[in-house]
Amino acid sequence: MARNLLNNPSGEEQFEYWELTENGGNQWQVEDLPGDCGYDFCNDGVTKYFTTSFEMCLKRQVIDLLAEGYSPEELDAQPTVNVEDWYCGRTDCGCIYQMTVCLLDENQEVLQEFKLDPVTLDPDCDDCSWKQVSHVFSEYGPGLRFIFFEHGGKDTKYWNGWFGVRVTGSSVTIGV
Query: DSSP per residue over 87-143, as a string?
Result: EE--SSS-EEEEEEEEEE-TT--EEEEEEEEEEEE-TTTS----EEEEEEE----S-
Burial label for 167, CB within 10 Å (0-12, 13-18, 19+), is buried
Q: Are strands 146-155 and 131-137 parallel, antiparallel or unpaired?
A: unpaired
The values of phi and psi at residue 19, to 5°, are -100, 120
DSSP one-letter code for 3: P
Q: Which pLDDT belongs to residue 1?
A: 63
Sheet holding 29-32, edge to edge: 29-32, 48-51, 166-175, 80-88, 131-137
Contacts of 117 (CB under 8 A, 6+ apart): none
For 19-175, give the CATH class.
Answer: mainly beta
How high is the mean pLDDT of the chain?
93
Indicate the SS3 state at residue 72. Answer: helix
Instruction: Report whether pLDDT(70) > 70.
Output: yes
Tell me the C-alpha to C-alpha distance, in Å, between residue 176 and each of 15, 38, 79. 29, 37, 5
Cβ(91)–Cβ(37) below 8 Å? yes
Q: Which pLDDT belongs to residue 14?
A: 95
pLDDT digits (tens, 9 = 90+) for 122-171: 989 888 889 999 999 999 999 999 999 999 999 998 888 888 999 999 99
pTM for the predicted model, two decimal places: 0.93
Q: Where are the domains of the chain?
A: 19-175
